Structure 1
Amino acid sequence: MKHYLVPVLLLCLFSCKPLPPKVYYTGLCTMNTYDTTRSFDTAFRPVKIDLFFPAEKVNSKVPMSYEEIMDMSALRLNYQLPRDSAHLESKYLADAIAQEFRLDSASSLFHYNTGIYPASLPATGKRKYPVIIYAAGMNGSSWENIVLFHQLVQQGYIVAALSSVGLYPGYMSAAPDLEEQVKDILFTRQQLARIPLADTSRIGLLSWSMGGSAITKAAMQQPFKCLLSFDGTEIHRYGTEPAWDAQYNEMMRSPGVKPERLTAPYCYLSSEHPPKVDSVFDLMKHSKAAPAYFMKIKGARHEDFSSMVFIAEKVQPSLGDIDKGRAAVIGNITSLFFDEYLKGNNAGFGKHLDSLFSASPDKYSKEY
């Protein structure tokens, strides 16, 4: 643990300001807002938006640790929660990740340097950046994909990350909770008009897991430039979990499920599936998304589409190559997709996927 603390101590002793970035800092500012059109317990609904953005100035001499990002997760329901109470959830998360990846110490995760700085939004913006709204997985938050957010900001994007908060008491577990997440996405879109740096004419959607159902349903109600889903639940395989089969059926019967309204460019990155399923209900087969890309990363599991595997490997190198380079592949795919469909660059996204399919058929496939 000591070798993580030494660089931080040296930086505090010998630096009067943060080390200058190559282009700009990755800043983080949280908007603790309320949607007054919806109730939550006896008050209005909290909508916590973590804004990762290109910052010229920051409010700290050192980057934020993964511990600080984890602590923020508990604040999605109560913005005034004491830090000690928030840290209880962080400890639970760290213990779960440590158990999953067999880390020697859960606390080693807390010292991971995210490269992200707390920062204030400028009153005016000389330049506007395209925005990616991120919908977290079930009961998730920004800690899920913090490495990817840093990368995207350094490539000229704003990421507005939304925690998953369902109906009161705020624990997502059933189909009706998804409706609140969809409304959070649409509410966040409205709030972007308050951000001087945000180009509200270029908004895309990104998600992991349950967030995939949220972004596709949000795009059925309002147009977005593009959608990228990491192993999302909008593509459902019947036969592995009967309880989830029932929940998915309820989701599909909910108001506003109209796949034909999905017309924006769409990409779905998939993990390896259980070999035995009765049938597959692919929501996107009923859509008119153009173009639509589907890619399976063979041997990958659901967690590979988050930052957890990458961070676990970094804090404990003795684990070996558990990431298998997938974080870099997924990050590159993500950048190319948004470069093409948000920035309007000729990124050659389709050709890039085809090159992966042809060069490494043992690793990648077009499943759909």
Structure 2
Amino acid sequence: MKLNTITTLLIFCVNFLGMTQDSKSYNAGFNTIQLLDTSRIYKPNSQVTDRLHYRPIDLDVWYPSSESVDGKEPLRFGNLFQLYEDRANKYQNETDYTGLVEELAQFFVAQLGIEGDGRRLLEVVTDSYQDLKILEAPIPLIIYMAGINGMGFENYKLLEDLAENGYVVVSISSNGRYPADMTNELGDTMEQVYDAEFALNYLKTQTDFHIDYGKIGVIGTSWGGMSGAILLNRSENIKALVSLDGSDTHFYGDYSDNNRYANDATWEDNDRFIKEIYDAEFTDIEKQKFAYLYLESGDKLNDFTPTDEYQLHKELESNAKYLRFKQSEHADFTCIPSILSSSKKSIAVHEQIQNTTVGFLNQVFKGTKEFDVLWNNYTRLEETTTEPYDIANLSPKVTEFGELLGRIVDAKTDLPLSYVNVGILNREVGTVTDSLGNFNLNVLKEFSNDTVRISMIGYEPIELILGNIVKKKDTLKVRLKEQISELNEVVVSAKAFKRRTLGNKTESKFISTGFGYNQLGAEMGIKINIRKNPTFVDAFNFTVSQNRLSAKSIFRLNFYEVNKRKPGNNILKDNILVAIEPKQTGKMTIDLKPYDIVLKEDVIATLEWVANEGENKKDEAIFFPIGFFTSGTLRKETSQSRFKKFASLGIGFNIDVRYY
């Protein structure tokens, strides 16, 4: 069935591609424009003499040209991508981002599960040519609003395709307030909108581009869909908006949506920020007269049931089109999976997205009919639907069930137990007890039949039904019994030891993963292959690449058996705690020789955040380097939730070992 689906998509794309190729009358020129908006202060508390005092704006421009490209060298993806690194250094003066592009290229390749190194991505040949002569005729203008912290490179295939079809395309990078990190807050989002407005006013003073300002459209990808809708609502001259899986549609209540942005916002924060934007900037947008196309991915509601929604296309009184690609993922709405040929599905879906967008804009601004043909085909395909998600027909909305309070003690001594894992089994709801053995959990009604698991190294775990506990409405007191286990006998040889470091030794400067300010119970690590029996563990090593935490943090080192490529039983007999001071960074080595850890098989080594000595602020987090590593990273967000595997990129954990 899956093969048939992909075949159908490919045939459909090839047929439609053949239909639209004839409309590509031009070559795609490319150039950049550097601007400075002196009406906006960019770097707070800076002097006028500071190069970052005023707001810098860099435009990437694709445009149609009748000039021949015979004998000319097309740009490679690396040429476009290098602009990202150059501007990362240009837009701030605190961090040297030299080498960022090479690491990000490797990141993309690894994330997509493709063999080889990042140079494969950088060497991709585009159809864009530097400094061609622009067409001397009235040309429609498309403003591209890049996805969060992105630039035009993310969708260059679409943008050069539009240029070949006779459009000037101006890409507005997703840069927030200083130091240009974009978040989902209104203040950062409006900076991209203001950049677009400044660029549009600048272009009106130029005569080189021959733009027809009666024909202006906007394309927004992901968070760029949100800023694109705001831009449109602030201008009566914009006649069309295409949102590529954009945030102008949002489903509330995704409690796994934590710490994905530079402000490390929780899912409650994210929902609040987005509602604030809708309330402030979407006023009366439904009364605007414009053509609107929303293209949506097929996996948005796979892992949660929304509590509410905002879908712009449902609010509009004007001409709105909606289409969902059932087989697609959010990443398919950029061109990177497609140009790397990560899968036949990615190639096919991105071709559809690209052709649909161009066809729609051609219909709006040129009166062509290929979009109607395309739309009729979509209504017959099983892989697409014109019916939006209907959350009313999903399972009932969740509501807060209350707070579960408890205390964990030793069954024999009645003394409190610190750092006990408490959580709802296989849910991302959990925590760790404090120094007095106390805990509290905010739980939801839908979890009432779920199991609460309480576990700790050296003690027998306990499992309880949540609904039975909450009914009693008393503070839960749980007594854990000490777990008695036999020590395995190890025969020590007189032969000399060989010493090795096993695991991932990356110390990447730019690619990292981490924990947000309040993620007690969160845990991540890697599988380490053990080839000699016995293997004696001397030390555990890791690097903190960035640390914004105000409080001293306590992490627990765990070694798990490997059970079907996921963590099984914890093989350690003691709590091995690692303290990280506020703002502390750099390489850390934990001496494990006193614990007599002997490994006979592969092991999963993790760090689990178990305590803070003080309070962290909402915008604080701690990060560890990640790099290419075959077995990837295993991560869970709370105590007792499921570990999820993130393939190909491993966190920089390793162990020093001895063996014969």
Same fold (TM over 0.5): yes
Q: Flag the 1:186–1:354 CA change in 2: closer, same or farther, 3 A.
A: same
Paired residue secondary structure (2:310): strand
User: Which one of the candidate residues 86, 108, 111 is aligned to 1:100?
Assistant: 111
Give the match for residue 382 of structure 2: 361
Which protein is bigger by CA-based radius of gyration? 2
Structure 2 residue 280 is the aligned partner of structure 1 residue 268: no
Distance across 2 between alignment mates of 1:159 and 1:66: 17
Structure 2 residue 170 is the aligned partner of structure 1 residue 160: yes
Q: Which runs of 5+ in 2 are unaligned?
A: 1-23, 47-52, 258-266, 390-660
CA-to-aligned-CA distance 1:11-54 (integer Å, 9 cap, x gap)? xxxxxxxxxxx844311110111122111114221111111012
- Tell me by how many angstroms 1:203 deviates: 0.9
Distance across 2 between alignment mates of 1:222 and 1:203: 10
CA contact under 8 A between 2:88 and 2:97: conserved in structure 1? Answer: no
Structure 2 residue 250 is the aligned partner of structure 1 residue 236: yes
**More strand as a share of residues:** 2
Give the TM-score, by structure 1 length.
0.83
CA contact under 8 A between 1:76 and 1:165: conserved in structure 2? Answer: no
Distance across 2 between alignment mates of 1:329 and 1:174: 28
**Greater RCO structure (CA 8 Å; 6+ sep):** 1
Distance across 2 between alignment mates of 1:116 and 1:86: 26
Paired residue secondary structure (1:30): strand
Query: Which residue identity does 1:310 align to in structure 2?
Result: S
Paired residue secondary structure (1:342): helix
Give the match for residue 201 of structure 2: 190
Structure 2 residue 36 is the aligned partner of structure 1 residue 30: no
Distance across 2 between alignment mates of 1:113 and 1:246: 42
Aligned length: 335
Distance across 2 between alignment mates of 1:86 and 1:51: 24
Paired residue secondary structure (2:273): helix
Give the match for residue 129 of structure 1: 139
CA contact under 8 A between 1:57 and 1:119: conserved in structure 2? Answer: no
Q: Flag the 1:331–1:33 CA change in 2: closer, same or farther, 3 A.
A: same
- Tell me by how many angstroms 1:74 deviates: 2.9
User: Which one of the candidate residues 329, 344, 347 is aligned to 1:301?
Assistant: 329
Distance across 2 between alignment mates of 1:216 and 1:255: 9
Distance across 2 between alignment mates of 1:311 and 1:47: 28
User: Which one of the candidate residues 51, 54, 77 is aligned to 1:66?
Assistant: 77
- Tell me by how many angstroms 1:183 deviates: 1.1
- Tell me by how many angstroms 1:57 deviates: 6.5
Query: Which residue identity does 1:52 align to in structure 2?
Result: W
Query: Which residue identity does 1:64 align to in structure 2?
Result: L
Paired residue secondary structure (1:226): strand
Distance across 2 between alignment mates of 1:348 and 1:116: 24
- Tell me by how many angstroms 1:126 deviates: 2.6
Distance across 1 between alignment mates of 2:126 and 2:223: 25
Query: Which residue identity does 2:191 align to in structure 1?
Result: E
Give the match for residue 234 of structure 2: 221
- Tell me by how many angstroms 1:115 deviates: 1.7
CA contact under 8 A between 1:130 and 1:158: conserved in structure 2? Answer: yes
- Tell me by how many angstroms 1:283 deviates: 3.2
Give the match for residue 291 of structure 1: 319
Query: Which residue identity does 1:114 align to in structure 2?
Result: T
Percent identity between the two aligned chains? 26
User: Which one of the candidate residues 121, 127, 133 is aligned to 1:109?
Assistant: 121
CA contact under 8 A between 1:210 and 1:233: conserved in structure 2? Answer: yes
Give the match for residue 259 of structure 1: 285
CA-to-aligned-CA distance 1:157-178 (integer Å, 9 cap, x gap)? 1111111100111001231210
Q: Which runs of 5+ in 1 are unaligned?
A: 1-21, 314-318
- Tell me by how many angstroms 1:212 deviates: 0.5
Give the TM-score, by structure 2 length.
0.48
